[in-house]
């Protein structure tokens, strides 16, 4: 029996709608109606009231086309909004039935249906801290309530959540979530301080450069996850029995937009996995189970981590430390198998980017932040970032001047690119 080849991908879809209900409604539009709306949009006959939904449908169809083109067996999807708890899977079901199960086009909006449908028999959506009220004055504006006082930034509970689709069984019984894990309980963490003092970000009234951001009482309660940290085991049949790969999924806060707290939290959210894969005993999940990942377990750390090891505003050394961990596959994270694309290289030239490793960029803001980081004990045979250059097939899935205001990024598909690895299981 041949080895089982498994393709595992992480993709920030940019399905960050104003409400969860909007995403649900978009996912329920039947293919015939989709075609009608897209055709009218492209030929200019669309009613003004339908223009926005048509643009969203084009975006979803292009994202589905990216998935159909790359055909991952396992897909972690960031920015797939939910109801806050992950219990309502209506949007996920609609995405499968009305988009992924329908042939899309490698040629973008209006193109012929020349891609094969893809089916994921297993799917999960996960609870999130985004938009979940903390009951504390976490933004130090003197009042309790509002966006800045939620455990994670989001205009409603469920925005920016993440989900998982798989062609192999997701071991939900043994899935571990760390939504409530306290920041203070990670090894060597301290209360973040105000470090951005150049006037680019307002310092709260009554506070000064160098002050601790949280009070001692708040620090006892603050959660580390801006969304969640989830360990979802996937069960894969092979000739020698079942193999289990732990998908370690998260989507840390961006390390910008404030006076330094976000930078510290982004770093801590990534340190979480670096310590978890070492099996540290201090971990506790939302069910009360303690301890980190079991010794020898196979894993893939997945998601938009909002941190590049060699460029950007975050604590780059934290990501490089994770890359350098001996438990991580060094051929992938520091060697010849590092995921790259020609599209990224071309983008870097077009934007006069000074990124030191331009072919590793995975976002339209010029950083490599999207990861599928395999364990050292996984036999990785191929990797990539899906980003078509102007001379490659599929370019209109990324750049299409006919669509939206700018004809790129979230207008067309996403401001992130799918990152994938392929492993051999014997």
Q: What per-residue confidence (pLDDT) applies to 3? A: 75
Among the listed residues 138, 181, 423, the one whose alpha carbon sits nearest the alpha carbon of residue 287? 181
Q: How confident is the model at residue 230 (pLDDT cuts 50, 70, 90)?
A: very high
Write down the mean pLDDT value for the chain: 97
Q: How many CB atoms lie within 10 A of CB 155?
A: 15
The C-alpha angle with vertex 72 and arms to 158 and 385, in degrees rounded to 5, equals: 85
State mean pLDDT over 187-213: 96
Among the listed residues 258, 359, 266, 259, the one whose alpha carbon sits nearest the alpha carbon of residue 307? 266
Query: Tens digits of per-residue pLDDT, 370-413?
Result: 999 999 999 999 999 999 999 999 999 999 999 999 999 999 99
Q: How confident is the model at residue 30 (pLDDT cuts 50, 70, 90)?
A: very high
State mean pLDDT over 96-100: 98
Taken in order 385, 387, 390, 391, the sign of the CA dihedral is: positive
Q: What per-residue confidence (pLDDT) applies to 92? A: 98
Phi, psi of 303 (to 5 degrees): 130, 175
Q: Where are the beta strands (DSSP E) in 51-161?
A: 74-80, 122-125
Q: How many CB atoms lie within 10 A of CB 57?
A: 24
Whole-angstrom distance, CA of residue 159 vs CA of residue 353: 31
State mean pLDDT over 51-62: 98
Q: What is the pTM of this model?
A: 0.97
Pick the CATH number of 4-425 from 3.60.10.10, 3.40.50.300, 1.10.443.10, 3.40.250.10: 3.60.10.10
Residue spans of the domains in the chain: they are 4-425
Strand partners, 385: 419
Strand partners, 28: none
Q: Percentage of the chain with pLDDT > 90?
A: 99
Q: In what order do the strands lie in the sheet with 379-386?
A: 122-125, 162-166, 74-80, 4-15, 418-425, 379-386
Query: Tens digits of per-residue pLDDT, 62-86?
Result: 999 999 999 999 999 999 999 999 9
Question: Is 80 exceeded by the pLDDT of residue 2?
Answer: no
Question: Is 60 exceeded by the pLDDT of residue 316?
Answer: yes
Question: Is 90 exceeded by the pLDDT of residue 1?
Answer: no
The token pair at 77 is 């999807």
State mean pLDDT over 354-362: 98
Whole-angstrom distance, CA of residue 229 vs CA of residue 273: 9
State mean pLDDT over 241-270: 97
Phi, psi of 186 (to 5 degrees): -75, 150
């Amino acid at each position: 029996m041949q080895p089982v080849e498994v393709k595992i991908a992480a993709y920030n879809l940019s399905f960050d709608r104003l409400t969860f209900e909007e995403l649900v409604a978009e996912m329920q539009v039947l293919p015939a109606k989709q075609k009608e709306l897209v055709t009218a949009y492209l030929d200019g006959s669309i009613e003004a009231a339908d223009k926005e939904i048509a643009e969203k449908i084009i975006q979803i169809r292009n994202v589905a086309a990216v998935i159909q083109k790359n055909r991952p067996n396992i897909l972690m999807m960031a920015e797939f909004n939910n109801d806050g708890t992950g219990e309502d899977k209506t949007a996920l079901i609609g995405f499968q039935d009305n988009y992924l199960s329908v042939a899309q086009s490698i040629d973008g909006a209006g193109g012929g249906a020349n891609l094969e449908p893809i089916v994921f028999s297993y799917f999960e959506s996960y609870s999130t801290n985004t938009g979940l009220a903390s009951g504390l004055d976490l933004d130090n504006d003197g009042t309790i309530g509002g966006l800045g006082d939620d455990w994670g930034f989001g205009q409603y509970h469920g925005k920016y959540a993440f989900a998982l689709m798989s062609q192999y069984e997701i071991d939900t019984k043994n899935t571990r979530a760390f939504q409530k894990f306290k920041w203070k309980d990670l090894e060597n963490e301290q209360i973040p301080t105000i470090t951005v003092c150049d006037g680019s970000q307002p310092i709260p009234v009554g506070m000064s450069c160098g002050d601790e951001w949280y009070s001692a009482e708040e620090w006892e309660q603050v959660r580390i996850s801006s969304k969640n940290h989830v360990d979802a085991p996937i069960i894969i049949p092979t000739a020698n029995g079942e193999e289990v790969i732990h998908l370690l999924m998260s989507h840390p806060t961006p390390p910008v937009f404030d006076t330094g707290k976000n930078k510290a939290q982004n770093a801590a959210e990534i340190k979480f996995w670096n310590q978890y894969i070492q099996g540290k005993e201090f971990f506790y999940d939302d069910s009360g189970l303690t301890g980190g990942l079991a010794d020898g377990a196979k894993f893939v750390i997945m998601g938009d981590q909002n941190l590049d090891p060699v460029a950007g505003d975050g604590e780059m050394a934290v990501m490089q430390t994770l890359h350098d961990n001996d438990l991580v596959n060094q051929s992938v994270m520091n060697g010849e198998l590092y995921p790259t694309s020609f599209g990224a290289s071309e983008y870097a030239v077009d934007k006069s980017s000074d990124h030191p490793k331009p072919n590793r960029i995975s976002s339209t803001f010029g950083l490599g932040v999207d990861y599928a980081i395999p364990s050292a004990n996984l036999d990785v045979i191929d990797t990539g970032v899906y980003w078509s250059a102007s001379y490659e097939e599929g370019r209109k899935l990324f750049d299409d001047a006919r669509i939206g205001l700018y004809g790129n990024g979230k207008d067309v598909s996403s401001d992130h690119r799918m990152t994938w690895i392929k492993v051999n299981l014997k």
